[in-house]
Amino acid sequence: MIQLKNAEQIRKMKDAGRITGEALLLAGEAVKEGVTTKHLDDIIRRHIEKCGAVPTFLGYGGFPGSACISVNDQVIHGIPSPEVVLREGDIVKIDVGATYRGFVGDSANTFPVGRVSREAAALIECTRNSFYKGAEQVRIGNRIGDIGSAVQRYCEERGYGVIRKYVGHGVGHELHEPPDVPNYGTPGRGPRLVAGMTLAIEPMVSAGSYEVRELRDGWTVVTVDGSLTAHYEHSVALTEEGIVFLTKIDSTL
């Protein structure tokens, strides 16, 4: 069942979202050659806990990190490690969740490590732009399929693959709530959008095929063809006045 939130609950979600966004911003500022993904995870955990919140991902289903940190062809769910050292030209996806006073914020972005290839830069830009194309469809009376269709059309027109096995989702008291929010779909299909819905919209986009597989660690998801991927996510709320970005704290994120 889709859980609708009232104005007070959305305000609380914005508090959780602010902490999430701040942690993501701090980690992104620390991305550079020679830094380990474990170091980025430590930055995220310290900030979330300093704010009196809890890292949502830590222990979620047994996940060992405070954030999912995925490099290059890794799509999502990369495990932070002191052995994974960022190199010039890498692109790193950082996915953060913070639980605060009973509500969850969930946000992700893709960061370049130093100078990256034109291919990588274009992929990052497309993924970010596709999120906003989807967000434009978050209007009362539209349907979930309108969001996914907008993301898919924008990416595929530019020659990119949209990951299908993993999707966005409702968010609120729990990290994952109904409904699923695919990054592909048919306009006019799926649950109708109404005021009070809170969603995590998160395009995951590949420079090649959308086919993926899970590594032996049981978490990390990579593209089958080894192509680069990017990820961009915000938690949003739909109100009578329109969309509210719950995790957006900076124009660069």
Q: Quick one: pLDDT band at residue 86, thresholds 50, 70, 90?
A: very high
pLDDT surpasses 60 at 81: yes
Query: By the 8 A CB rule, do 92 and 113 touch?
Result: yes
Query: Which among 210, 187, 107, 104 is positioned nearest to 139, based on CA atoms?
Result: 187
Predicted pLDDT of residue 253: 64
Indicate the average pLDDT of the chain.
97
Query: Is 235 part of any domain?
Result: yes
Domain hosting 196: range is 7-245
Query: Is 1 part of any domain?
Result: no
pLDDT surpasses 70 at 103: yes
Tens of pLDDT, residues 143-183? 999 999 999 999 999 999 999 999 999 999 999 999 999 99
Query: Counting beta carbons within 10 angstroms of the beta carbon of residue 95, is it exposed (0 to 12), middle (13 to 18) or buried (19 or more)?
Result: buried
CATH at 127: 3.90.230.10
Task: Give the whole-number percent of the chain exceeding pLDDT 90.
Answer: 98
Could you give the CA distance from residue 237 to residue 141 in angstroms, rounded to a whole number? 14
Element housing 231 (H / E): strand 229-231
Query: Is 84 part of any domain?
Result: yes
Task: Give the whole-number percent of the chain exceeding pLDDT 70.
Answer: 98
Predicted pLDDT of residue 148: 98
> Average pLDDT, stretch 44-66?
98
pLDDT surpasses 80 at 118: yes
Predicted pLDDT of residue 251: 59
Predicted pLDDT of residue 11: 98
Query: Is 169 part of any domain?
Result: yes
Predicted pLDDT of residue 62: 98
Query: Which among 224, 222, 231, 221 is positioned nearest to 253, based on CA atoms?
Result: 231
Tens of pLDDT, residues 184-236? 999 999 999 999 999 999 999 999 999 999 999 999 999 999 999 999 999 99
pLDDT surpasses 80 at 250: no
Residue 38 CB coordination number (10 Å): 17
Q: Based on the structure, what is the number of domains in the chain?
A: 1
Predicted pLDDT of residue 249: 87
Could you give the CA distance from residue 147 to residue 130 in angstroms, rounded to a whole number? 10
Query: Is 36 part of any domain?
Result: yes
Could you give the CA distance from residue 253 to residue 113 in angstroms, rounded to a whole number? 16
Please give the backbone phi and psi of residue 181, each rounded to the nearest 5 degrees, phi first. Answer: -125, 85
Query: Counting beta carbons within 10 angstroms of the beta carbon of residue 150, is it exposed (0 to 12), middle (13 to 18) or buried (19 or more)?
Result: buried
pLDDT surpasses 80 at 252: no
Query: Is 143 part of any domain?
Result: yes
Query: Is 59 part of any domain?
Result: yes
Q: pTM score, two decimals? A: 0.97
Query: Is 231 part of any domain?
Result: yes
